[in-house]
Structure 1
Amino acid sequence: MPRTEPRVLTPVATLSALVVCAVLALGAAASELSMAGALLFAVLVLALGWPHLLDLPSPRGVQLILIGTAVVLAAISELGDDERGLRWLPTVLGGGLIAAFLHQLVRQDGRARLVATLAGTCLGLGVLGSGAFFLSALDENMGEELVLACLAASAIGMIVDWVLHRFGATAEWAVPISMVLSGGAAFVLAQSLDVTWSAMVLVAAGTPLVSHAVRRLLSFAVGARGAAGQLALGAASVLASGVVAYAVAWFYR
């Protein structure tokens, strides 16, 4: 049997996820421009630790690609049409992919681990792209409420996962416990905001599935033991759930 490395989940990842959730929630409740700025902050946290989490060579180039892509996406979202740049999302991510290849052409270190660097950069762009759906969800019916429910579910899931991991409990219990707690919180929130409770519960139940899957996958990464890697892990688990908020908002149009 091959030896497997233990899963790593520290308070740094928990704090990172909670801060990102709080900033995004404040942005969603404030204004469109604030939400774009909050998304940039979340991507900045992701970018700072992403190459360290995946142990990628030439980390500065990977960081610049992720941050640059997020800046362009936020700018298009604010200057574009009412869809918050969703129409341009494939183009922007495609530009980020081109930048990833150009980055390899200008590397001066012999392009060590070329495929791993490209794959890691593309995975980071995918997480960023999922986070961009938070912006698009705000244009939909109940968009703000669904984004808030999604972020609350991400925070609850992170706390439950860390507590169970801290006390050595089986990680698989994190998903059902998070879904029950998040669904209950979303139902209460729906009653207080006078919105459709089924939509709120659906997004709250789906978010822990996505967030936990991303968190569990990345917690086995080579660089997960470092603080920088844990920062990126926490941010990625939140950004990845953006597509859930938009999907439910689109379904309830």
Structure 2
Amino acid sequence: MKSWSIGVFGLVALAAIVASTFVSREAMVGVGIAASAVVGIGWPHFLAIPAKKTLASVIALAGAGSAVSAAYMTAPGFLDGTPACLALGVMAVFVIQLVRGTGQAQRLESTLGCCAGVLLNCLGAGWIAGARFNGVKEMVLVAGLSAAAALLVGIIRWPDRIVAPIGVVAAGLMAPLAGLVFSDIAVVPAALVGVVVGSVLVCFRRMATLRRGRLNALASAGMGVAPVWAVGAIAYFIDKLLIY
């Protein structure tokens, strides 16, 4: 599958995530569970590791649990359940590797890679927490538009040394512009969100281009959704620390 398909998967996921925050809590939970499932299934395929089905279940369940807890936890501890889901997911990954036994192929890569997948999937709950924070969704929209700008730049089939700085700049400019048009968020916090979100997304683009071999549809979907889902925590914490 072509590398640009990763960006397309990311844009579709981003649109669904942001749109769900303006619909209902149930919609956010549904999209969160779906995104967690896509990341859970696709991440082991991207890593090309053994025991894909078992590890996919762990990653997906950890992300889904974090999303559900963020939707129903009482304020202000919207993400209080996320550390528990993260810890349980990491422990489950280690248990699976112990059950596989010593001498198994790619045991270290599988452990480290899947722990990273659990972390990314659990961080996605930040989108839901951000939407519930003060009942104001402007930061979700600002973060979503800046992420879309970085993803659109990332689809361009240019070298990473060109795409990366353009993607960061585009996201950094889109965020304050969106903040001025759609909300009263100050320019500096909005620009910070855009730069950080754009930096994360272009780094994952680099990670995808370094991966050897062709990607199947599951790997492309997982790699496309994972960074988009994870950056929700960035928007939430910047909103909470710099704006509230």
* Partner Cα separation in structure 2 for residue 131 and residue 206 of structure 1: 15
The match for 1:192 is: 181
The verdict on how the C-alpha distance between 1:84 and 1:67 changes in structure 2, with shifts beyond 3 A counting, is farther
Instruction: Say which SS state the counterpart of residue 18 (structure 2) adopts.
Output: helix
Of the three residues 204, 207, 220, the one matched with 1:217 is 207
The verdict on how the C-alpha distance between 1:78 and 1:134 changes in structure 2, with shifts beyond 3 A counting, is closer
User: Shift of residue 143 of structure 1?
Assistant: 5.0
Deviation string 1:150-187 (CA, Å, 9 cap, x unpaired) is 12222221221221xx2xx3322323322343344333
The match for 1:4 is: none
Q: Is the 8 A contact 1:49 1:229 kept in 2?
A: yes
User: Shift of residue 77 of structure 1?
Assistant: 2.4
- How well do the aligned residues superpose, as a CA RMSD in angstroms? 2.5
* Partner Cα separation in structure 1 for residue 65 and residue 134 of structure 2: 26
Deviation string 1:192-243 (CA, Å, 9 cap, x unpaired) is 3232241333312221111111221243234653332221111122123223
Q: List gaps (5 residues or longer) in structure 2.
A: none
Residue 74 of structure 2 aligns with an amino acid whose one-letter code is: D
Q: List gaps (5 residues or longer) in structure 1.
A: 1-7
Residue 242 of structure 1 aligns with an amino acid whose one-letter code is: G
User: Shift of residue 102 of structure 1?
Assistant: 2.2
Q: Is the 8 A contact 1:45 1:232 kept in 2?
A: yes
User: Shift of residue 20 of structure 1?
Assistant: 0.5
The verdict on how the C-alpha distance between 1:111 and 1:143 changes in structure 2, with shifts beyond 3 A counting, is farther
Of the three residues 168, 174, 179, the one matched with 2:168 is 179
For this pair of structures, how many residues does the alignment match?
242
Q: Percent identity?
A: 24
The match for 2:94 is: 101
The match for 1:146 is: 139
Instruction: Say which SS state the counterpart of residue 87 (structure 1) adopts.
Output: coil
Of the three residues 207, 231, 240, the one matched with 2:221 is 231
* Partner Cα separation in structure 2 for residue 224 and residue 81 of structure 1: 44
Residue 190 of structure 2 aligns with an amino acid whose one-letter code is: M
Residue 67 of structure 1 aligns with an amino acid whose one-letter code is: A
Q: Is the 8 A contact 1:161 1:174 kept in 2?
A: yes
* 1:202 maps to 2:192: yes
Of the three residues 149, 156, 159, the one matched with 1:170 is 159
With the length of structure 2 as denominator, give the TM-score of the two structures.
Answer: 0.87
Deviation string 1:89-122 (CA, Å, 9 cap, x unpaired) is 1111001111112222444897332211111110
The verdict on how the C-alpha distance between 1:222 and 1:85 changes in structure 2, with shifts beyond 3 A counting, is farther
User: Shift of residue 59 of structure 1?
Assistant: 0.2
* Partner Cα separation in structure 1 for residue 243 and residue 135 of structure 2: 9
* Partner Cα separation in structure 2 for residue 105 and residue 172 of structure 1: 41
